[in-house]
Amino acid sequence: MSTRQTQAVARILLTPAVALLLIWMIVPLALTAYFSTLHYSLLDPVSERFIGTANFRYFLTDPAFLASLRNTLVLVGSVLGLTITLGIPLAHLLDQPVFGRSLVRLLVIAPFFVMPTVSALVWKNLLMNPVSGLFAWIATLFGAAPVDWFTSHALLAIVLIVSWQWLPFATLILLTALQSLDQEQKEAAEMDGAGPLSTFTHITLPHLARPITVVILIETIFLLTIFAEIFVTTGGGPGLETTNIAFLIYSQALIQFDVGSASAGGLVAVVIANVVAFFLLRIVGRNLEA
């Protein structure tokens, strides 16, 4: 009797959260799907009418879409590559018994807590400005010409900023995984005469396979929709050089007020994100049973 009562209470306690998330998931997405079939401009709301799949044809064949898809892939791929290849040695270093380890740890994870608008503007102005930025001064010290980052290498500049923000995340997760690696196993390998390199490739790296996968998937979900860093630095330019899919949809919606096309783009973004989400949920779900 008491269990039935408990279960009824449990269901009541669960309902508000489920209901809210259900509404949050269904209503806006259904509206996006609906808008995507309309000719609907906020500048000219009276001309609203059903046009079927025309928005999708327009969005997918727009040269801006291909450019932004390419930029999105470059951005996600480069940031993943940088944060993981730098994160592994960094985590390894922080796993050593160095002096002042907890202080170094604080320094390394700090960028993760800096709000995106601050990171982007500090990098753009204080560091990357071609005249008064610190990088320009360093370049002249070595007799090189300062790089005008946001004119000639805008996407690379964004990649560097975003990598700086996400390196702590990758490092922290890999470090946590390293710390759970059985010390005895490593010592046994060393006693059997395995050098540090072969211990790393045969014991440490396989152990890191799962955390690396988790880092890749979670970072991808966030990196697919990088927005603020582009918004405050380049506004998607020069041209379309730093426009990713998220920024393209934003500009169609709130700059060109083309609701229909932006909604079609939104659904395309959902499809791309779902592919990633599918794999992440499988990994997380497997862990849930254990």
Partner 1 sequence: MARTAKTRHKVLMTAAAWLSGLLIFFPILWMLLTSFKTELRAVSTPPSFLLFHWTLENYASVLQRSAYLHYALNSVITAGGSTLIALLLGVPAAWSMAFSATARTRSILLWMLSTKMMPPVAVLVPIYLIYRDLGLLDSKAGLVLILCLGNLPLAIWMLFSYFKEIPKDILEAARVDGAGVGRELIHVLLPMALPGLASTSLLSLILAWNESFWTLNLSTSSAAPLTTFIASYSSPEGLFWAKLSAASTLAIAPILVLGWLSQRQLVRGLTFGAVK
Question: According to CB under 8 A, which residues from 137 to 156 bind partner 1?
Answer: 137, 140
Scan residues 217-246 and list those touching partner 1 (CB under 8 A).
218, 221, 224-225, 227-228, 231-233, 245-246
**Binding segment for partner 1 among 46-54, 61-69, 74-82, 104-112 (CB under 8 A)?**
104-112
What is the spatial distance between Cα 76 and Cα 83, in angstroms, rounded to a whole number? 11
**Binding segment for partner 1 among 19-27, 58-66, 75-83, 185-193 (CB under 8 A)?**
19-27
Three-state DSSP state, 16: helix
Backbone angles phi, psi at 50, to 5 degrees: -75, 130
What is the spatial distance between Cα 253 and Cα 260, in angstroms, rounded to a whole number? 8
What is the spatial distance between Cα 35 and Cα 113, in angstroms, rounded to a whole number? 36
What is the spatial distance between Cα 72 and Cα 82, in angstroms, rounded to a whole number? 15
Q: Is 32 in the site for partner 1 (CB under 8 A)?
A: yes
Scan residues 163-182 and list those touching partner 1 (CB under 8 A).
164, 167-169, 172-173, 176-177, 180
Backbone angles phi, psi at 82, to 5 degrees: -65, -45
Three-state DSSP state, 15: helix
What is the spatial distance between Cα 203 and Cα 213, in angstroms, rounded to a whole number? 17
**Binding segment for partner 1 among 56-64, 181-189, 198-206, 214-222 (CB under 8 A)?**
214-222
**Binding segment for partner 1 among 16-24, 50-58, 61-69, 186-194 (CB under 8 A)?**
16-24
Rounded least distance, CB 54 to partner 1, Å: 17
**Binding segment for partner 1 among 54-62, 89-97, 147-155, 182-190 (CB under 8 A)?**
89-97
Q: What is the DSSP string of 182-232?
A: -HHHHHHHHHTT--HHHHIIIIIHHHHHHHHHHHHHHHHHHHTT--HHHHH
Structural contact between residues 35 and 259, judged by C-beta atoms closer than 8 angstroms: yes
Structural contact between residues 202 and 189, judged by C-beta atoms closer than 8 angstroms: yes
Binding mask 112-131 toward partner 1 (x if CB under 8 A, else -) reads: xxxxxxxx-xxx-xxx---x
Q: Is 6 in the site for partner 1 (CB under 8 A)?
A: yes
> Residue 103 has which token pair?
């202080």
Tokens 């490092």, residue located: 171
Q: Is 284 in the site for partner 1 (CB under 8 A)?
A: yes
Given 65, 78, 155, 211, the residue binding partner 1 (CB under 8 A): 211
Taking the least distance from each CB to partner 1, the nearer of 241 and 247 is 247
Scan residues 256-275 and list those touching partner 1 (CB under 8 A).
259, 262-263, 266-267, 269-270, 272-274
Given 1, 17, 43, 197, the residue binding partner 1 (CB under 8 A): 17
Taking the least distance from each CB to partner 1, the nearer of 211 and 236 is 211
